[in-house]
Structure 1
Amino acid sequence: MGASAAMAISVSQRRGNWAEQRALRLLRAAGWQLLDQQWRCRWGELDLLLHKPQRLLLVEVKSRVRSGRDGWGLASFTARKRARLSCAYRCWLAAHPRYQHCSLELVLALVPQPPAKEPVRWIRCWLGA
């Protein structure tokens, strides 16, 4: 990536990438293996998709500088967002059929940005749709 491409990354994209890396470090330390990061299809993006034997973990990462009305990003995880994630996951699974036998867990990772000192909050969710 050239210097001009790196400069084109917005502050919010840098913060999002930082938050994903923080969540990923914690999950790897817990024994999860990364399969895909920022995987995209027409339905949307899968932030992190990880694997343990017979299990998949789909992680939607939300990050804020401070907790506002949306509680570190929790309020932005709407039914519409979950429906799009479900479609994107099914698209990913169609491209990776060897994982069809695995159970899936969806987790929302609320990652505070510095200077906040709060820990990452992990919230189990359901895809719906």
Structure 2
Amino acid sequence: MPPSPAQRQGAWAEQRVLRLLRLQGWQLLERNWRCPWGELDLVLHKPGRLLLVEVKGRRSGSVDGWGMAALRRPKRQRLERAWNCWLAAHPHWERTPVEQVAALVPLPPSQAPVRWIRLGD
């Protein structure tokens, strides 16, 4: 079954974020990692650091505030559970500092920059 338009847009947004982060020296560990408690869009690393990225692609004038509504408490709780599951599956990363961010990606035809929101504080 071919991907839906929403799946294609999500993949495009993730690829845009991944390109930006690779330019900053981040290396991809996981993309769309799933467990029974949720999904992690991107997990990246630099020496001594991990980065967990939740990607939200949105069109201009999106009714959910460019993806902000999708980052409310229930979503953050699912992310935290999925993150704990990932750490249990990758115990060698347990003591590595992690930063959790959301990347709000304007979809074409918008040329606006990606907005970064720090999560988990």
**Normalised TM-score (structure 2):** 0.96
Give, in angstroms, the shift of residue 67 of structure 1: 2.9
**Normalised TM-score (structure 1):** 0.90
- Give the 3-state SS of the residue equivalent to 1:114 in structure 2: coil
Structure 1 segment 50-69 matched on structure 2, within 5 A? 50-69=44-63
- Give the 3-state SS of the residue equivalent to 1:71 in structure 2: coil
| Alignment check: 8 A CA contact 1:112 1:119 kept | yes
Which of 39, 42, 65 aligns to 2:33? It is 39
Higher Cα Rg, which structure: 1
The aligned residue for residue 114 of structure 1 is 108
- How far apart, CA to CA, are the structure 1 residues paired with 2:34 and 2:11? 15
Moved more, 69-78 or 94-103: 69-78
- How far apart, CA to CA, are the structure 2 residues paired with 1:117 and 1:53? 32
Give, in angstroms, the shift of residue 53 of structure 1: 1.3
Displacement over 4 Å in runs of 4+? none
Give, in angstroms, the shift of residue 65 of structure 1: 1.5
Give, in angstroms, the shift of residue 101 of structure 1: 1.4
1:50-87 alpha-carbon deviations (Å, 9 max, x no partner): 00111110000001121333221111111010011000
The aligned residue for residue 77 of structure 2 is 83
Q: Provide structure 1 residue ranges, at least 5 long, that are not aligned to the other structure.
A: none
In the alignment of these two chains, the number of paired residues is 121
